[in-house]
Structure 1
Amino acid sequence: MSTTRQASRKSRKIAAIAAGILVVGVGATYTLASWNDAEWVWGGADGDPNVGTSSFNVQQNASAPFTTTGWGDFETNPGDELTFTAGSLTLTPGDTIYAPVALQTSADSVAGTVQLQGAVAATGITVSDTGGSLWSAIRATVHTATGATPPAACTAAGAGNAGWTTLVTNAPLNTVGNATQTLAADAGSVQHYCFALTLPAGSPDTLQGRTIAPAWEFAATSN
């Protein structure tokens, strides 16, 4: 084979390889030059998040006359202090003492319902009632009403008058309220409660000098 013919074949082979490279190169160039685009969306409203959960929060006020101040959260036992009428630490048989409290949702809360639970011992409070005799003897009555103000004062003269509904009637301290109450959203309603505790007439002398500290829970559920 002549030197000229070998050179010709070698040239054709180089040309073929170069052509292959050119094809691959064209393909690669085409891929790198393709256009890319993307579209995104997010759960927003006027620049703020637009997906989230509601809030449910009930507040209480144990300081009559239940104005716009005095509302707060007391979510664990023993909670806020009920202010009973005079003589609450010097009961004699036949005496009854009274204390009010009001509930409402907070300003950014959804609506819900609430039910009074039976009393339990206040956490962390030292009492003097060996054997629980005074606790067992005391009888509770609880009234409720809805409105900006209660229908009557939570006193001997006012408790149980027209407008009040009775949830617990002369029952042991651990008695649960017999109905639920509705709380409107966004502090839209006030639910009043009047607690009356009685040391029954005829209670034995062995109950002298004792103290107890009952604590009640208002169990609330959002609508």
Structure 2
Amino acid sequence: MSNQSQQSSVAESRNRRNRKIAAISAGALVVGLGAAYTLASWNDSEWVWGGADGDPNVGTSTFEVNQNTTSPFSNDAANWVDAETNPGGELTFSPGSLSLTPGDTIYAPVSLRTEADSDGAAVALQGAVAATGITVTDAGQGLWNAIQTSVYTQSGAADSTPPACTAAGIGGSDWSQVLDTAALGTAATGPQNLSADAGSTQHYCFALTLPTGSSDELQGRTIAPAWEFRAESVSD
């Protein structure tokens, strides 16, 4: 090969190498521009929250039932109390409750309503159980098993006064019977509904009877039954 041919070959090789470098540089430039474009994108966010006029607007309702065991009945606010555990509020039975003889019946009233701002309630009276913390004298539960229970109820307005919880009172048309001459542990029929926000009152009258013909062995005994009004919230 002549010297001129060698020089021509070297020049052509150099030109090819230069073109390749230029192509690689151009590609790198394109990639660089793409990366620069991505980094320069705009960003924005929008937030919302559960509120109304600066206050929360997501929360829970309240639910509370109160009782009134006054006898004679008094609708004063102080007489509406909360007693959620056994033995609860104390019923006031008619005179002679500690000196029963066969055939006697004693009576005691109680009224229920929801608190202000409370949901409504469905209330079901459960069967009696022994009152917690009360000492009694009833070997073999003889007196407990002998006593017969009847319960009457009446629904009234928020400020209503119950009908008389007496033998004469339950004989009228104002009371409805929800438990008819049953053993102490028997639940009443129901439930009864209480309006929300103290909007109604449900009155109850308990009647306990020592049946005629009860055994002489029951003399001198005592018992202390306690009843639960089981309530569930309802929407009016």
TM-score above 0.5, yes or no: yes
Equivalent position of 1:28 in the other structure:
35
- Residue 145 of structure 1 and its aligned partner are, at CA, apart by 0.9
| Bigger Cα displacement from structure 2, 90-99 vs 13-22 | 13-22
Counterparts of 1:105 and 1:57, CA distance in 2 = 6
Greater radius of gyration (CA): 2
- Residue 12 of structure 1 and its aligned partner are, at CA, apart by 7.1
Equivalent position of 1:124 in the other structure:
133
Q: Which amino acid aligns with 1:149?
A: S
Counterparts of 2:31 and 2:87, CA distance in 1 = 80
Paired residue for 1:211, among 208, 215, 222?
222
Q: Which amino acid aligns with 2:55?
A: D
Q: Which amino acid aligns with 1:186?
A: D
Equivalent position of 1:45 in the other structure:
52
Provide closer, same or farther for how the CA distance between residues 187 and 9 of structure 1 changes in structure 2, counting only shifts above 3 A: same
Counterparts of 2:80 and 2:116, CA distance in 1 = 11
Percent pairwise identity: 64
- Residue 93 of structure 1 and its aligned partner are, at CA, apart by 2.4
Q: Which amino acid aligns with 1:88?
A: S
| Bigger Cα displacement from structure 2, 92-101 vs 9-18 | 9-18
Q: Which amino acid aligns with 1:135?
A: W
Counterparts of 2:81 and 2:30, CA distance in 1 = 78
Equivalent position of 1:96 in the other structure:
105
**Structure 1 position 111 matched with structure 2 position 120:** yes
Q: Which amino acid aligns with 2:99?
A: T
- Please state whether the residue corresponding to 1:190 is helix, strand or coil: strand
Provide closer, same or farther for how the CA distance between residues 66 and 100 of structure 1 changes in structure 2, counting only shifts above 3 A: farther
- Residue 106 of structure 1 and its aligned partner are, at CA, apart by 1.9
Equivalent position of 1:176 in the other structure:
187
| Bigger Cα displacement from structure 2, 173-182 vs 152-161 | 152-161
- Residue 166 of structure 1 and its aligned partner are, at CA, apart by 1.5
Q: Greater helix percent: which structure?
A: 2
Q: How many pairs align?
A: 222
Counterparts of 1:150 and 1:137, CA distance in 2 = 32
8 Å Cα contact 1:143-1:160 kept in structure 2: no
Unaligned runs of 5+ in 1: none
- Residue 9 of structure 1 and its aligned partner are, at CA, apart by 8.4
Unaligned runs of 5+ in 2: 1-5
- Please state whether the residue corresponding to 1:171 is helix, strand or coil: strand
**Structure 1 position 158 matched with structure 2 position 165:** no
- Residue 10 of structure 1 and its aligned partner are, at CA, apart by 8.3
Q: Which amino acid aligns with 2:64?
A: N
